[in-house]
Chains A and B, each alone.
Chain A
Amino acid sequence: MSVPATSDNRILRAPPLGPERPVSWARRSVRTLSNGLEVVVAESKSVPKVSAQLFMRSGNAVVAHRSPGLADMTAAVVRTGTESRPSRRIEEDLRRMGGDMSTNAGADSSAIGISGLAEFSQGLLDLMADLARNATLPVAEFERERSQHLEELRIDRTTPGFLGSECLRRVLFGAHPYGIIAPTEEQVKLYTRDALAEFYRTYYVPAESVLLVVGDVDSNKIIDQVEQAFGSWKAPMPLATPRPAPPELTGRRVHLVHLPGTVQTDVLVGNRAITRTDPNWMRMVLTNSIYGGAFHSRLVMNIREQKGYTYSPRSSAVPLRQHGYFAIHAAVRNDVVAASLAEIFYELDRMRALPVGDAELDDARNYLSGVFSLSSSTQDGLLGQLSTVYLDRLAEDYLETYRQRVRALTAEDVLLTARRYLDSKNAQIVVVGDRALIGEQAALFGELETYDAHGNRLGSIF
Chain B
Amino acid sequence: MLQIPVEHITLANGLRVVISPDRSAPVATVGVYYQIGFRLEPQGRSGFAHLFEHMMFQGSENAGKMEHIKLVNASGGVLNGTTNYDVTNYFESVPSNALERMLWLEADRMRALKVDDENLRNQRDVVKEEVRVNVMNQPYGGFPWLDLPPVAFRNWPNAHNFYGDFVDLDAATLGDVQHFFKTYYAPNNAVLLMLGDVDPAEGFAYARKYFEDIPPGPLPPRVDVSEKPQTEERRGQVEEKLGTLPAIAIGYHGPARNTPDWFRFAMLDGALHGGRAGRVYRELVLEKQIAVDASGGFDLIESNGPTQMVTRIFHHPKYDSDTAIAAFDQVIAQVREKGIAASELEEVKVKFRSDFYSTLESGMGSSMPRFGLMHYLACFTLFDNDPLRINTILDEFQAVTAARVKEVAQKYLVPENRAVLLRVPIQKPELVGSTAGAR
Contact = CB atoms under 8 A, between A and B. Distances in A.
Contacts of B353: 98, 117
Given A9-B213, A17-B97, A154-B244, A264 B129 contact: yes
B257 interface: no
Contact of B357 (A48, A144, A170): A48
B53 interface: no
Interface in A355-412: 362-363, 366-367, 369-371, 373-381, 384
B83 to A, nearest CB: 14
Interface string B256-293: 00000000000000000011110000100110010011
Contact of B26 (A21, A45, A380, A453): A21
B389 interface: no
A378 B366 contact: yes
Interface string A93-118: 01111111000000000000001110
- Between A47, A152, A380, A381, the greatest number of chain B beta carbons within 10 A of the residue's beta carbon is seen for A47
A262 interface: yes
A453 B437 CA distance: 9
B121 A13 contact: no
A88 interface: yes
A274 interface: no
Contacts of B40: none
B301 interface: no
A374 B286 contact: no
A159 interface: yes
A176 interface: no
A126 interface: no
Interface in A22-64: 22-24, 45-49
A454 B436 contact: yes
Nearest to A363: B74
Count class of interface residues, chain B? 35 or more
A333 to B, nearest CB: 6
Contact of A310 (B72, B121, B129): B129
Nearest to A2: B12
A331 B369 contact: no
A456 B436 CA distance: 9
B347 A92 contact: yes
Nearest to B70: A296
B122 A373 contact: no
Contacts of B216: 1, 3
B8 to A, nearest CB: 18
A296 B79 CA distance: 11
Contact of B125 (A9, A309, A456): A309
B97 A91 contact: no
Given A308-B122, A311-B133, A98 B78 contact: no
B122 A366 contact: no
Given A95-B275, A295-B78, A49 B354 contact: yes
A240 interface: no
B405 interface: no
Nearest to A187: B437
A296 B348 contact: no
A386 B79 CA distance: 24
B113 interface: no
B175 interface: no
B69 to A, nearest CB: 5
Contacts of B75: 17, 366, 370
Contacts of B12: 1-4
A49 B362 CA distance: 12
B174 interface: no
A454 B437 contact: yes
A260 B426 CA distance: 13
A278 interface: no
Contacts of A45: 24
Nearest to B129: A311
A264 B350 contact: no
A60 to B, nearest CB: 15
Contact of B25 (A3, A6, A13, A376): A376
A458 B438 CA distance: 11
A21 B28 CA distance: 12
Given A3-B12, A95-B347, A305-B66, A456 B433 contact: yes
A310 B132 CA distance: 10
A375 B76 CA distance: 12
B367 interface: yes
A10 interface: yes
A148 interface: yes
Interface string B229-245: 00000000000011111
B347 A14 contact: no
A296 B209 contact: no
Given A2-B12, A14-B104, A308-B123, A47 B286 contact: no
A245 interface: no
B94 interface: yes
- Between B129, B210, B292, B439, the greatest number of chain A beta carbons within 10 A of the residue's beta carbon is seen for B129
Contact of B293 (A49, A148, A369): A148
Interface in A302-354: 304-312, 331-333
Interface stretch (B136-144, B151-159, B329-337, B410-418): B136-144
Contacts of B13: 1, 3
A381 B367 contact: yes
Contact of B366 (A263, A295, A380): A380
A442 interface: no
Contact of B76 (A185, A367, A377): A367
Contacts of B128: 333
A151 interface: yes
B316 A374 contact: no
B97 A21 contact: yes
Contacts of A17: 75, 97-98, 101
Contacts of B98: 17-18, 370
B197 interface: yes
Interface in B344-374: 347-348, 350-351, 353-355, 357-358, 360-362, 366-369
Nearest to B105: A14
A455 B357 contact: no
B71 interface: yes
B310 interface: no
- Between B69, B111, B293, the greatest number of chain A beta carbons within 10 A of the residue's beta carbon is seen for B69
Interface in A149-196: 151-152, 154-155, 158-160, 170, 184-186
Contact of A19 (B72, B97, B133, B433): B97
B244 A155 contact: yes
Nearest to A98: B354
A214 to B, nearest CB: 11
B376 to A, nearest CB: 13
B20 to A, nearest CB: 12
B132 A371 contact: no
Given A1-B12, A15-B104, A151-B244, A296 B73 contact: yes
Interface of A: 1-7, 9-24, 45-49, 87-88, 91-92, 94-100, 115-117, 144, 147-148, 151-152, 154-155, 158-160, 170, 184-186, 258, 260-264, 294-296, 301, 304-312, 331-333, 362-363, 366-367, 369-371, 373-381, 384, 452-458
Nearest 4 interchain pairs by C-beta: A370-B76, A98-B354, A308-B125, A381-B366
24 contacts: A1-B13, A3-B12, A3-B212, A14-B63, A17-B101, A24-B25, A47-B361, A95-B277, A95-B347, A98-B350, A117-B357, A155-B244, A261-B241, A295-B69, A296-B73, A304-B126, A309-B125, A311-B129, A367-B77, A370-B95, A373-B27, A374-B367, A380-B361, A454-B433
